Every structure is written in C-alpha cells, then in structure tokens.
A and B are shown apart, each in its own frame.
Chain A
C-alpha cells in the first residue's frame, strides 16, 4: 500500500493512502469524536460530529475524507469545537433526548458527546413531536423518539447481517427508522439477530430483557463462545451479580466478527427449561435426590461391575470432557448427531471466511437460517454482492429469494454439471447426507471446497476425537447429554439398557428415563475448548457460576474416573 504524508494538528503523519482522516488519526492516537461512524460499518458522514478544519478553513467530515498528500487538518480548532456544539444542539433539539428516564443513560454516545463539549443547556427548544414506538418484537424495542438518524442500524442490518430489514422512511426531521417500510418489527422480516441493538449509539434500539438493569460500566464483560451450532461465534456476555444482562457479538472474534444470530444473542437469556439442580437416583422406581458422593459412587460401581458399557455424546460438551469420557467407557462411544463418515472425507475443507470470497455457493440440502444464522447472513451478503447461489432443496427454502438457481432434490444430478468449471466454489452441506449424495458431491472435489454444517458447537471436535462410530450393545449406558432432551428413536434404543446414566443440563424425557441423573453445567457456565466446523479451537470461559449443584462435565468425569 502506498503511503501518504499529511498533517493533523500540525503534526506530520504517514498513513496508508486508502485510509480516511478518521482512521489515520486513530492510528496516530488522535481522538476525533464520532456518532454515526462505527469501525465495522461503511462510513456515511450523516451526523457531522467528526468535522475537522482543513487548511483553507473548510469543515469536512473526517469519517469520509480520504487522506491526500499535503492535507492539513485541525481536529479541535475553535471553529471545529463551535461547529460540534452547534451540531449537538441540533441533535438534542430534534427528538426526546431527556436522559433521566432513558435506558442507556450512562452508556449513550450522544450523552457522552454532550458532556465532552460542555452542553449544559439546549440552545434550541426541543421539537417535541411524538414519534412512534414499537414494542411488538419479542426481544427488541424500537424508540424512535431517541433516534438520532445515524443509520448505524440500517447499515448493520444490511451490510453486516445481509437482511435489509431496517430502512428510513419519510424526509427531514420526520425521518423514521422503519422495518420493512412501515411494518411492525414483530411482523417484519426481522430474523432477531440483534446487531441493530448492538450498534445503536442511543436508546433508540434496546434489548427488552436487559432494559434498566444497569449501566455497562457496572457490569463485568466476559468473552466466551456460543455452542448452539457448529460456527462457534465469539460473544461478550455482560453480567451483573452473576446474572447475564445482555449478550453482544465479539467484534474481535475471527469467526463471526461481531454479528450473532438469535440463538447466540437471545436464547441463553430467554431459556425457560427446568434445570437439573441435584444428582438424582432412581431407587425402586422412585426418584431421590442424593449427595454428589453417593451419585459418583453409584456411577463408579455400575461402570466397574458391568461387562459392557457404552457412551453417547451430544456434542455441546468440551473437547476435554470428551477425552475423559472416552477413557471412561473404553472407547465404545458414539455421537448424538447424524453424521455420515464418508461425507466428512470430501476435500478440500473450506473455512467460514470462504463464504464471502467464494465464486459460487452450493447449499446442498441445508437451510442455514434454521440454526446457523451467521452463515445465513454471510450467504446473503455474498449473494448481494454478486456471488452465484445454488440451492438444492425444497421450494420454500429460506434463502430462495437470494438464489440464482434452485434445484429440487430429485434434480440434484444436474447441479454437478452446472458447477463444472466453477473453480473457487464452496459447497455447504449437511454432514448427515446419504452415501448417494456423498458420491455426487465427490465429483465436485477439485472444483469446490466443502463445509459440513454441523448442528452442535463441538460436533467437529467430537468427530476429530473419534466419536464417529456406532455404539455396541451395552448394559450400562452413559450419556453426556448437555442440553439434549432425547428423541423417540434414542429412547427406544435405550429400552434394554440395564442402567442408564444421564449427565444433563435440563429435565427432559431422557432424564425421565435415567437411573442416575448428574447435573452438568450449561455452556455459559463451562470452561474448556470446542472445535468449530472449520477446525478452529475456541475457548469457553464461564460467564456465570454453576446453577445449584451442577458441575462441569469434565469435573464429574474426573471424579468418576478416580474411583475406577
């Protein structure tokens, strides 16, 4: 990259030629205030707060002004400060910006700018027009009276999420943030990814659940990884007094770069399932709460005395737990996810980043919108920027709108032909596909790279650790269920099991069937690592303390293996 030399506040600075003054200033440690700008979004220059004065006295927005040789800017000259105060006064007068009853007071970027520039009264009486509010959405509330029309949410929804739900209707001071051209949020095409809330600088968009529960500086921020699907998005949990108040996507995460889906951002906060709180043993048909010592002793005795033991893993548990577990059941283990071993042999493997740079994308019998919202976002973004998207699946596929071609599963043979010559493509497929499909897709080897869309956070890790076989018939079965509740097939297959140990987060049909229930921690309470679908090892950090007597899978397995 060629370099450009220019001056900020008299100081000579060398910067990459493709930078804006704002970015170059940031690199040089010069602070220029911003409101509509966001490091992850395309610059817009809507709010004008970042104005700087150039040599000839013109005011230019630093966020959109490119660096040029010989450019000289002042970032806090009297003219600049006066302009910023004027802009702030205009912003404050436009809507209801009374902080004392606002949810984000203390975290608000407009408020902070008011403090920074000593706005101790309004130069103009506020407009006092009542703008609509929208509290229809399950998680998000939209308060237009607090909006500064910075359009961060609009850009995040389109450029980061690929959803294009939010937009602006009307003109001038009556401009309104509006989902799907004046539809209520609830009935709009919103997919509840919540990125709009994460980027909102004021109280215009807020999470319903965490509302009025405190300021960010009163909360602890803990980074961990979501295990709700195989993507492994980095997230930041904001906690207070051992409660999760809100969850943000981790901007620093190389996996998701800030965005999340409903599963990652909201499901941990809205989980209403009943936890397993204590170890429970079934004695003479009755369930009885017992001590950990008794529970561990029972498990040890059962595992020791049996001739055949086996283990099943629902792969939302850590690599460390799986490693212990395999030793415990002599390697007679299987994974509770439909995985075809041959399907994983398709080469080369793709990374998540390949979705955005692929020449063409084939979605083979998967709908990422169902459980892999972030992947769905990237596919939408890729499709919007011109990448060909081919879908093999039902007509009502959620990404049909973005597809360049759509084949029904019966016509799948034709797809392979259509991909000949499209080197640099990517195939996203269900790892549980049938052998016939595997053979078909194998013809694309060399043309495309492959991304198996695993359902759980550590499916890849479990497969890598060898949990890909079939369970041999066993007298004692031990299930590392984490949050899995079992289905009728699983329950039927356990009919002849003499002693069933279930290590689980929640009460479910599976724990109902168990002879011994061991309470395990959920992923937000757990320490360890998982391996995401592209093979990255990611670190889980406990965000809150374990519920009641729950212990991590690893801890429980360690205790049991001590007695063996």
Chain B
C-alpha cells in the first residue's frame, strides 16, 4: 500500500492533543501498518515538515505569535490535507481568554504578578515569537480542510478521522465523537 505521510506540530497549546494521538495506543500501529508514515512530529522530534511535502498535516494549538503564523503557513504549504486538532486550533480555545486583556496586562500578569514569581521580568529575547494582538483559530490564518474539536479530542475521534481519510471518506466527526470539551 502506498505510504501516507503525516506531519504534525503544535502552536499555542498544551500538548494534550498530541497525548490523545499517542492515546490511540495499538491503533497507532494499525495506522502505521495500513501505510501511515509519521514524518515530522513532536513525537518523532523532527522540527519541520519535509520540503517534499506530506499528505496529512495536523496542527494543535491556537495561533498566538508571529512564529505560530510561520509554522502554520509552512505546514499549509507542505501538506495536502490540513487538520486542525483540539479546541485551540479549531476555535481558538482556552488561550483566547487572553484576548480579553491588553498585551501589557497579559505580560505583566504572566511574568511579574504571578503568585509564585519573585523579581520577574518580561523576556525580550529575539528568539521568542512576538505576541499577536489576539490569539486566533487556525482557520483565521490558513485554510483548514478538517476539524477535530475537543479539549482534548478523544483518541477515538482522532482515529475515526484518520481512518476515514485513509479510506477516502469524510473525516467530519459525528455523534458522540464530536465534543467541545
């Protein structure tokens, strides 16, 4: 069977959705035996999707910095089907809570006023992505082909969507698999 190459990455998220991918357990092996090749993912520790491209790209997390925008756009360019996974990538999710505050308030609260912080300061290193004025859902930045909401989505939901794609069917979640929390 022809290989289906899959890459994934995370943006402003908690890695919970990738935990759910791993939570597919033996079904991961089943997918690999069915021809899925895990290319660049946080699990395989390759930093970005290969230049020659992949079939399926999966992104977890909201778009919150200019780095995230770059990662999202690169993934979009290098994959045929882009899946937003988890509430943050799909809707903006919990990270959009910060949209109700100004960036100054946000940084001060996060780096200086946190109860556990002593002598905190706001980092300014050029390595760190610049916060966008608002955290956004993935489809606010790039075109998204399929959505797997959930916080995190269940392993069942992810398996269902990937299996459907492999079989050439619609990956849209139905029934109990569609969850917002």
> Which segment, of B3-11, B27-35, B36-44, B143-151, faces chain A?
B143-151
A-B interface contact total, Cβ < 8 Å: 64
* Cβ contact within 8 Å between B100 and A130: yes
Q: Which residue of A114, A120, A128 is within 8 Å of B96 (Cβ)? A: A128
B1 at the interface (CB under 8 A from A): no
Q: How far is the CA of A285 from the CA of B6 in the complex (A)?
A: 82
Q: How far is the CA of A62 from the CA of B42 in the complex (A)?
A: 50
Residues of A within 8 A of B84 (CB): 121
Q: How far is the CA of A126 from the CA of B148 in the complex (A)?
A: 18
A132 nearest CB across to chain B (Å): 11
Report B134-175 CB contacts with A as 1/0, cut-off 8 Å: 101101100010011101000000000000000000001110
B70 at the interface (CB under 8 A from A): no
A100 at the interface (CB under 8 A from B): yes
A135 at the interface (CB under 8 A from B): no
Q: How far is the CA of A115 from the CA of B136 in the complex (A)?
A: 22
Residues of A within 8 A of B136 (CB): 125
Tell me the nearest residue of chain B to A128, going by C-beta.
B99
Most central of A98, A115, A128 by chain B CB within 10 Å: A98
A82 nearest CB across to chain B (Å): 16
* Cβ contact within 8 Å between A120 and B181: no
Residues of A within 8 A of B173 (CB): 118, 120
Q: How far is the CA of A114 from the CA of B90 in the complex (A)?
A: 14
* Cβ contact within 8 Å between A128 and B178: no
* Cβ contact within 8 Å between A115 and B178: yes
Q: Quick one: given A126-B92, A128-B100, A130-B100, are A120 and B178 in contact (CB under 8 Å)?
A: yes
* Cβ contact within 8 Å between B93 and A100: yes
A130 nearest CB across to chain B (Å): 4
Q: Quick one: given A98-B87, A121-B139, A130-B100, are A111 and B180 in contact (CB under 8 Å)?
A: yes
B118 nearest CB across to chain A (Å): 28
A125 nearest CB across to chain B (Å): 5
Q: Which residue of B99, B134, B137, B180 is within 8 Å of A105 (Cβ)? A: B180
* Cβ contact within 8 Å between A128 and B151: no
Interface size class of A (residues with CB under 8 A): 10 to 19
B46 at the interface (CB under 8 A from A): no
Residues of B within 8 A of A409 (CB): none
Q: How far is the CA of A121 from the CA of B84 in the complex (A)?
A: 9
A214 at the interface (CB under 8 A from B): no
B168 nearest CB across to chain A (Å): 19
Tell me the nearest residue of chain B to A92, going by C-beta.
B91
Q: Quick one: given A98-B93, A98-B96, A130-B100, are A106 and B181 in contact (CB under 8 Å)?
A: yes
A residues 89-103 near B (Cβ < 8 Å) are 96, 98-102
A122 at the interface (CB under 8 A from B): yes
* Cβ contact within 8 Å between B92 and A98: yes
* Cβ contact within 8 Å between A99 and B137: no
Q: How far is the CA of A164 from the CA of B149 in the complex (A)?
A: 40
Residues of B within 8 A of A111 (CB): 180
* Cβ contact within 8 Å between A100 and B181: yes
B106 at the interface (CB under 8 A from A): no
Q: Which residue of A99, A121, A128 is within 8 Å of B134 (Cβ)? A: A128
Q: Quick one: given A128-B99, A128-B100, are A122 and B91 in contact (CB under 8 Å)?
A: yes
* Cβ contact within 8 Å between A105 and B90: no
A106 nearest CB across to chain B (Å): 7
Residues of A within 8 A of B94 (CB): 98, 100-101
B14 nearest CB across to chain A (Å): 11
Q: How far is the CA of A463 from the CA of B150 in the complex (A)?
A: 59
Most central of A96, A101, A115, A120 by chain B CB within 10 Å: A120
B170 nearest CB across to chain A (Å): 10
Count chain B residues whose beta carbon lies closer than 8 angstroms to a beta carbon of A: 28
Q: How far is the CA of A551 from the CA of B148 in the complex (A)?
A: 53
Q: Quick one: given A100-B181, A106-B181, are A121 and B100 in contact (CB under 8 Å)?
A: no
A65 nearest CB across to chain B (Å): 30
Q: How far is the CA of A126 from the CA of B96 in the complex (A)?
A: 10
Q: Which residue of B92, B149, B151 is within 8 Å of A120 (Cβ)? A: B149
Q: How far is the CA of A101 from the CA of B84 in the complex (A)?
A: 20
Tell me the nearest residue of chain B to A110, going by C-beta.
B180
B residues 95-153 near A (Cβ < 8 Å) are 96-97, 99-100, 134, 136-137, 139-140, 144, 147-149, 151
Residues of B within 8 A of A99 (CB): 87, 151, 180-181
* Cβ contact within 8 Å between A100 and B90: no
Residues of A within 8 A of B134 (CB): 128
Most central of B84, B151, B181 by chain A CB within 10 Å: B181
Q: Which residue of B87, B144, B180 is within 8 Å of A114 (Cβ)? A: B180
* Cβ contact within 8 Å between B174 and A118: yes
* Cβ contact within 8 Å between A118 and B96: no
Residues of B within 8 A of A121 (CB): 84, 90-91, 137, 139, 144, 147, 149
Residues of A within 8 A of B139 (CB): 121
Q: Quick one: given A99-B181, A100-B93, A100-B180, are A120 and B140 in contact (CB under 8 Å)?
A: no
Q: How far is the CA of A128 from the CA of B139 in the complex (A)?
A: 16
B162 nearest CB across to chain A (Å): 15
Residues of A within 8 A of B96 (CB): 96, 98, 126, 128
Q: Quick one: given A125-B136, A128-B100, are A118 and B178 in contact (CB under 8 Å)?
A: yes
Residues of B within 8 A of A115 (CB): 178-180
* Cβ contact within 8 Å between A125 and B137: yes
Most central of A114, A121, A128 by chain B CB within 10 Å: A121
Q: How far is the CA of A96 from the CA of B96 in the complex (A)?
A: 9
B85 nearest CB across to chain A (Å): 11
* Cβ contact within 8 Å between A100 and B178: no
Q: Quick one: given A111-B180, A125-B140, A128-B99, are A120 and B90 in contact (CB under 8 Å)?
A: yes
B152 nearest CB across to chain A (Å): 9
Q: How far is the CA of A120 from the CA of B83 in the complex (A)?
A: 12
B73 nearest CB across to chain A (Å): 18
* Cβ contact within 8 Å between A120 and B87: no
B98 nearest CB across to chain A (Å): 10
Given contacts A100-B87, A120-B149, A128-B99, 19 further A-B contacts (CB under 8 A): A98-B87, A98-B92, A98-B96, A99-B180, A100-B151, A100-B180, A105-B180, A105-B181, A115-B178, A118-B174, A118-B178, A120-B173, A121-B137, A122-B137, A125-B136, A125-B137, A126-B96, A128-B96, A128-B134
Q: Which residues of B contact A (CB under 8 A)?
A: 84, 87, 90-94, 96-97, 99-100, 134, 136-137, 139-140, 144, 147-149, 151, 172-174, 178-181
Listed by A's residue number, 21 A-B pairs whose Cβ atoms lie within 8 Å are A96-B100, A98-B87, A98-B94, A98-B96, A99-B87, A100-B94, A102-B181, A105-B181, A115-B179, A115-B180, A118-B172, A118-B178, A120-B149, A120-B173, A120-B178, A121-B84, A121-B137, A125-B137, A128-B99, A128-B100, A130-B100
Q: Which 9 A-B pairs have the closest CB atoms?
A: A99-B180, A100-B151, A120-B147, A121-B147, A130-B100, A105-B181, A99-B181, A100-B181, A128-B99
